[in-house]
Chains A and B, each alone.
Chain A
């Protein structure tokens, strides 16, 4: 249902945007050539017929052929999907791995040096322009120090800079979230009870307090997956990462409809999948949530 709605919206918006033939045909093409091309691409029929034909083909897994690359659009997008997923998942894993411990340490003693440090760094993290951070990383680690490659994909070393630049904002966001949640949880009665009863500090932090902090973290992490798809567009451009983001920037400027539609559907499918995963994780973290 969500996919159907997304496809209809994208389809309509694209048709409002302009005539791709103006960009496709050479300026010296005759009117007859233009019309012939319009017919082969199916652009001479009404919008409704075009959308119907598109839907009929879509359920068979055919989202049309790219006007420029001449290959099936879905194939083109799916080909780039692993690269983008690799980048997004690496960024997500890294940000959670850093933010959860950092948030816990900061929350244990509010106002301590560690807390102030965590808050200062996360303030910078959410304030830094994401595209600029990528460029600064290239400047320091690729141009000056020459430790890491600045572009392309392949080895783990290629992944470090793009994933880190995409992760930074999320590290800051999750650290703030975990810290706030832990401060809240640690002031609750059940924590005091557990402490009074002699539960070890470690068990108290990770078992009692953290579990109650994780629900909002899971929610926001799910929402962030969506904005990671968006953020990846910028990151992929800066680091010449061969993912969907670069493909879509290209397709948008060239009005390559089938690719844009295929991309939108893949991203929408990604959103739906993430929501499903988030719901499953809820039930893992919170036994009160039942999957019905």
Chain B
């Protein structure tokens, strides 16, 4: 592990730890409104108060608590929807690569279509049609991002399929699903994990963007996207802190995950090395 990868891991671990420990780090309910403490600046400015280290928004909600809880939701949505895409994509990729023929052609054509459509357009359309909600959003994001995993897995399956140990298993009469699960899957896993690491930040940004547009997580769930949108409303009056901190927190996590994803890719696949 390189030094920068180590530093990134530590920073990311701190951010993750802070967001997971949100209920213990701040006793303030992120949704609690307090009109007496509306639009307080951060603690280090003159009018600020230590009770609200990063200030408050227009309805007196604590920005620090919102950042921590929002990060938590963001990671939750990101991780679970990546898990859904992973399960769906790996299954379809295994089927596609192993079955070949028409099934393969149809699945890969569908993957092409999915990859050519910007996810935010698809998500926007579906949310607009069927409404949103925390779990609906997770499933939606998970389902519309399967193609990249299916492609990766299919490629690896094609390479593994003709190897001797798979042929041997087939000759011994092992059924196709068992061959896929026992002999093919372990060999395609590394590539998939790398893809998942690269996908996670993109998915987190997608959730935040949808929430920013008011089409993501419902208002009673703290979200970084929603928090930035609230800050946008008071931006022109000079209340910068409401939108700056949530965005900064999200960006910090995404930078760390991106760095680690790059590092993971370099470490597992020398062809992709960005240093050379």
Residues of chain A touching chain B, judged by Cβ–Cβ distance below 8 Å, are 10, 13-14, 16-18, 110-111, 119, 123-124, 126-132, 135-136, 138-139, 143, 150, 176, 180, 183, 187, 223, 226-227, 229-231, 233-234, 237-238, 249, 252-253, 267, 271
Query: In the bound complex, do residue A131 and residue B228 qualify as a contact, i.e. CB atoms below 8 Å apart?
Result: yes
Q: Which B residue's beta carbon lies closest to that of A132?
A: B247
Query: In the bound complex, do residue B275 and residue A226 qualify as a contact, i.e. CB atoms below 8 Å apart?
Result: no
- Known contacts A13-B129, A130-B205, A124 near B124 by CB under 8 Å: no
B276: Cβ under 8 A from any A Cβ: yes
Q: Which residues on B sit within 8 Å (CB–CB) of A237?
A: 213
In the complex, which of the residues A18, A128, A131, A226 contacts B118, with contact meaning CB atoms closer than 8 Å?
A226
B149: Cβ under 8 A from any A Cβ: no
Complex alpha-carbon distance, A230 and B208, angstroms: 15
Query: In the bound complex, do residue A229 and residue B121 qualify as a contact, i.e. CB atoms below 8 Å apart?
Result: yes
Residues of chain B touching chain A, judged by Cβ–Cβ distance below 8 Å, are 116-118, 120-121, 124-125, 128-130, 201, 205, 208-209, 212-213, 224-225, 228-229, 231-232, 235-236, 238, 240, 243-244, 246-247, 250-251, 254-255, 258-259, 274-276
Q: Which residues on A sit within 8 Å (CB–CB) of B250?
A: 129, 132
Least CB distance from A133 to B in Å reads 8
Q: Which residues on B sit within 8 Å (CB–CB) of A135?
A: 228, 231-232, 235, 243, 247
In the complex, which of the residues B116, B236, B246 contacts A226, with contact meaning CB atoms closer than 8 Å?
B116
- Known contacts A14-B129, A123-B259, A143-B238, A132 near B124 by CB under 8 Å: no
Q: Which A residue's beta carbon lies closest to that of B258?
A: A127
Least CB distance from A185 to B in Å reads 12
Complex alpha-carbon distance, A10 and B201, angstroms: 29
In the complex, which of the residues A124, A129, A249 contacts B213, with contact meaning CB atoms closer than 8 Å?
A249
Complex alpha-carbon distance, A237 and B228, angstroms: 14
Q: Which B residue's beta carbon lies closest to that of A169?
A: B205
In the complex, which of the residues A17, A126, A183, A230 contacts B120, with contact meaning CB atoms closer than 8 Å?
A230
Q: Which residues on A sit within 8 Å (CB–CB) of B213?
A: 131, 233-234, 237, 249
